[in-house]
Structures are given as structure tokens and as C-alpha cells.
Amino acid sequence: MRKGTLGLLAWMFGSAQLFAQTPTVETPSGQTPGAPKAIFQVQGSSQVATEAPIVEMQPYADPGPARIWARGEYLLWWVKNAPIPVPLVTTGDPNDGFPLVNSAGAIGMPATRVLFGGSDVDYGATSGMRFTLGGWVGDNQTFGIEGNAFLLERRTNQFAAGSDALGNPPLYFPAFNVVTGAERALAIADPLRQFSGDVSVTTTLQLWGAEFNALVSSWRRPGLEVSFLAGFRYADLQETLHINNSTNDLLFFNTTVLNDHFDTRNQFYGGQIGVRASWQRDRLGVDVTGKVALGANHQVVNIQGDITQSGIGAFAPGTFPGGLYAQPTNIGRRTVDEFSVLPAVDVRLSYQISQRLRATVGYDFLYWNQVVRPGNQIDRNINPSQSPIFGNGALVGQASPTALFNRSDFWAQGVSFGLEFRY
């Protein structure tokens, strides 16, 4: 009896231990047992629910100094206005000096008003492009090379005026006549003197340049680098000023066509030195570069002109050298080399889009001293005796106008927007 009771107690205790054990869940072959899984019944089938993995955002990793970089930029620049210090086209009262003296439209007469000239020509905003390619040489990235080239579009400004068939409104070319020693004007259109006509003055400008530099990284810390550069710079500024006039003589039935051309070109060749500081933090960066180039400026002033008269009442039919401000005494192509200085500063902000690509926005300023510009080359002191239309075709007295080599400074500045690939 006692043995039976003890056996029953032992059996009950063992059964309790058996039912208290955690059931074992078999893991399919090829899988590693993971976190405990909840088993639940859905429409008669068992499904296993697991916890969703937690995805952590990785911080931006600084790619460090690039070994090679290439950048393309759109430029939106402004240049210094083109100077035209002398008045070229006027209007006035035809009664001034009529009929003996051609002083209508002359500078100094009460009714004379300048229509073009005596002020600067504004070309406004100018679009362009610039490409840069550079890289470090060697694993330590201490020495490198970089080159870039830029081109601004050709800008044009045009003034035009004309009269009706009767010569209204009156139009004139003002000039100082060295033969009479007084201010006079050549009629383009004048209703009292029986002239009708038109005039146009067209100016153009184009600027481009290139440079090639060696780089030396002199100081480098995480996020900050200072480099020195030295190399060669080329800049090219071309400008034109063209005057075209056609006048009909309603009294003698002839037509006179006049053309004056003033073209200038500046070509700078020189050595260049500079310094660049680059700062980078996370995705943002700033590059500041200052440079100065010293060298020779090859300057060209080309003055050409012609005049043609035709019609049944032509006094000297045919085409002859010399218009009005361009006469045989100053016509020709002349060159000279002048020492010039060309400093430049550019500031560029960048945003790292990816490990290899970043967007940039910048500001550039370029200064150039001692340049020739076409409006500065016009001599308004005229000796009309050398023209077969206005005189006898042979120079008598003072040789005017003369060839000028007047110089002034020049600048260009603006913003840039670009994409840069870095590897």
C-alpha cells in the first residue's frame, strides 16, 4: 500500500515536469534559429510573424581630396561699357547757318542735340561657358595641373536713325573742320538743304581666354586645403565700331554712301601666379582663388573707310578711300605691344550631390589695364580737302584725322553655375 502510494506520487511529479518544459520549434534546414516567433491561426493555416528590421541612416562620408576633376559652367557676365567719348550723330535746326555755313547740327549750336556718341554703350548681360580639367600627380597629391578656357557670346549694339523722303527729321555728323577752324556738321538729312538719308552705328564685342597652371598643395588638413599655382594665361578682346550712311541729294539727284570702320583687338600673353583656399564640411564647400598675370598685350587698331557717289548728278562718281572719320591720313592697320596686368578673383560655393558629383555657383571678377577700344580711336578733327566728295581729293593743310592709340582699362564680372565630376 505504501509502495503504491509512493509510486503514484513519483508519476505525478514527473508528469508536472514534462508539461512545464517549453515546446521545441523545429527550424527548417538551411536557416539559422533566430528570435522567438509567435504562432497564430489564420483561416485554418499557421503563419509566422517576425519583427521588421530597423534601418539606420548612415552619415555622409567625405570623399576627401579628388585625384581628377572636370567642371562645366554656364557664365552670366557683364563687361565694362564701350566708351564712345565723341558725338557721332546729332539733330538740330536746319536754319542754323543756312545757306552759306554748314553749322546746323554742329556742336555748340543752341538747337543741336546729340543722338549717339558722347557716352558709353552698354552691352548688358552676356552669356558664356567655361570648361575646367585638372588632377593631382602621384599618390601623395602634392603636385597637380589644371587648365580652363572660357568664351563669352558675341554681343552687338546698334543705333539707327533715318529721315522721310523730304529730309525730316534733320540728321548730321558733327566734326571740327581744321580748315575753317570751327565746329561744323555734315548733313545726313536736311529739309532746307534738300537731303534725305539714314545712318546706323553698329558696335560689337567678344571676350575669351584660357589658362594653364601647375598646382602645389602647401597645407592640407581634414576639410581645409591651401594651394599655390603658377602658369600661363591668355586673354582675347575683340571689338568693332562701324558707321554706315546713305544720303540722297534731292537737288542734284545723286546718292552718297559712306562707311567708317574702327576695329580693335587686344591679345594678352603672360605668366601667372596665385593662391587657392578650399574648405569642405559635409556636403558644403567653398573655393576662393586669387590670381595675377603679368605680360605683353598685343594691340591692333585697324581703321578703314570708303565713300561712293552715284547718280546722274554725281560730282565724283565712283568709290574712293576714306569716309568721314576714317580718312587717308588715319586709314590702316597698326600694332603695338604694351606691358599689361591682369588680376582675377573667383569665389565658388559647392554642394556635394554624390560621392563623385557636385553642383557649383560662383562669382568671377577680371580686370585688364591698358586696352585699346574702338570708340577711343575716333579723331573728330577733319580735313575735308583730301576727300574727292567733300574736297578736291588732295590734302591741303593739316593732316587730320590722325591715327590714335588711346587706351583705357577693362573689366568683366559675373556669376557662374556648374557641375563638377570628381574622382
Residues 54-88 pLDDT 10s: 545 455 555 666 789 999 999 999 999 999 999 99
Of the candidates 209, 6, 189, the one whose C-alpha atom is nearest the C-alpha of residue 115 is 189
Whole-model pTM: value is 0.83
The pLDDT of residue 221 is above 80: yes
DSSP-based helix, strand, coil % in the chain, nearest 5 = 5, 60, 35
Nearest alpha-carbon partner for 365 in 416, 407, 408, 417: 416
Which residues are 172's β-sheet partners? 90, 187
CA distance 60 to 69: 20
Mean pLDDT confidence for 15-43: 42
- In the CATH scheme, what is the code of domain 68-422? 2.40.128.100
DSSP-assigned beta bridge partners for residue 75: 128, 416
Give the model's pLDDT for residue 141.
79
Q: What is the pLDDT of residue 20?
A: 41
Sorting pLDDT into bands at 50, 70 and 90, what band is 5? very low
Does pLDDT of 235 surpass 80? yes
pLDDT at 42 over 70: no
Between these two residues, 18 and 79, which has the higher pLDDT value?
Answer: 79
Confidence label for 41 from pLDDT (cuts 50, 70 and 90): very low
**Pairing, β 182-189 against β 143-152:** unpaired
Q: Is the pLDDT of residue 297 over 70?
A: yes
